[in-house]
Amino acid sequence: MFQIKIYDSTNVFKKTVSPSDVISDISFSMNTNGWLWQQTIGLAYWITDTSISLWDIVKIYMYNESNKDWLQIYMWYVSKIWRIQSITRQTISLTCLWIASLLTEQTNAVNYIDWDTCWDVVKQIIDSFNSSYGSEIISYTSLSVEDWIGLSDGTFTGNYLKTLETLATMSWFKLFIDWTWLITFKAFSTTPDHYITNKKELESVNIKEDLEWIVNSVLVRGQYRDTLWWSVYYTAEINWVYEDATSIATYGRRYEDVIINNSSQDFVDDYAENYINDRKEPKKETTLAINRKYNLESLKPWDTIKIMNFEYLFNNVKIIKINYTPDNVVLYLDVYTSFGEEINKTFY
């Protein structure tokens, strides 16, 4: 059971859409260091209907039986309106883009960031983005961004989202921006955030392995900034190779070229080493289908899970992506373990 509500661009309520008027599926995805994918909603409205306008905000709510309350699970803004007439009926199709679509269009106003903590960097990026629009579009709280001592200085060019992604890549922290447009930037959990019970909330398990995912040799080219002891900055050319010998011996050299300009040497080291550490093994992507016996709205990227009553060990494994529908979710897990057939046999 769901509700669709329409708000104007200033977040003032306009109308509630009847479920009987919705002629499309309700689903979306969210992932770490990323955003909610766009949603297309088909409505059985006359093409002359003007109750929904461009830049309106679409919010979707699901009824939570345990809480006996409506919970918001989606929020986008309307970027396209298609008015369609056929012989038998008229419809309106809304293309709803999430807030990160704006982030990718903005130019980062701060190219060089001299940070002390991750909190300071994220705050600077979000404040600069919001000031472009004259109001707060993306929010953050002291609890949604964990404190982190920065390792080095860095220069960022391009859009705001790319800056946040780069920041996450060179650190052990990951980010996501949820359906309330709240940014969270946090470390990997040391204990499971969620406990999923096999054959109760857990419906199915699938695993695929991908050798093409591997990168174990990175050539970093460009320039880096450094400082002498009297605090005078200078720029030097870089042409450095970072490799993982064990991965190369096992899978062969799998090379990638990276260009980084005007960042400190420590930043370059951190970025390349973390990048290789994430990519040096085959990607064995595990997907789990979870039903509504579990509180699906509580599952978020970069949370960790443990599967209970399951012979194969899934303990404190990271969620890297979630596909949501009103009835269930599919979790994409960051699992670097083989034996997919063994898991399937154990499950069945």
Helix 118-133 / helix 160-169 crossing angle, nearest 10 deg: 170
pLDDT of residue 193: 94
List residues bridging with 329 in a β-sheet.
290, 324
**Burial (CB count <10 Å: 0-12, 13-18, 19+), residue 263:** buried
Secondary structure of residue 125 in the 3-state scheme: helix
pLDDT by position in tens, the chain (length 348) = 788 999 998 889 999 999 899 998 887 777 777 667 778 899 999 999 999 999 899 998 887 777 778 888 888 889 899 999 988 889 999 998 877 777 877 776 566 666 667 788 788 888 888 887 767 788 898 888 877 766 556 667 777 887 887 777 667 778 888 878 888 888 888 899 999 998 899 998 887 777 787 889 998 887 776 665 555 566 778 888 999 999 999 999 998 888 777 677 777 888 788 888 878 887 767 889 999 889 887 888 888 999 888 776 778 888 888 888 777 889 988 754 333 333 333 333
Distances (CA, A) of 239 to 177, 215, 257, 260: 35, 18, 10, 10
pLDDT of residue 71: 81
Closest CA to 212 of 276, 274, 281: 281
pLDDT of residue 51: 94
Rounded CA separation 285/340 (Å): 10
pLDDT of residue 337: 39
Closest CA to 15 of 50, 65, 64, 66: 50
For 291-309, the pLDDT digits (tens) are 988 988 788 888 899 988 8
Do 157 and 260 meet the contact criterion of CB atoms below 8 Å apart? Answer: no
pLDDT of residue 336: 43
The two beta strands, 315-324 and 304-308, are antiparallel
List residues bridging with 58 in a β-sheet.
6, 76
Rounded CA separation 295/174 (Å): 23
Helix 265-279 / helix 160-169 crossing angle, nearest 10 deg: 80
pLDDT of residue 264: 74
Average pLDDT of every residue of the chain: 80
Return the CA Rg of the chain. Answer: 23
Secondary structure of residue 200 in the 3-state scheme: coil
pLDDT of residue 250: 92
- Token duo for residue 20: 């009987």
Q: Which amino acid is residue 254, in one-letter code?
A: R
φ, ψ of residue 37 in degrees (nearest 5): -75, 160
pLDDT of residue 341: 31
pLDDT of residue 18: 92
Do 308 and 201 meet the contact criterion of CB atoms below 8 Å apart? Answer: no
Rounded CA separation 281/270 (Å): 19
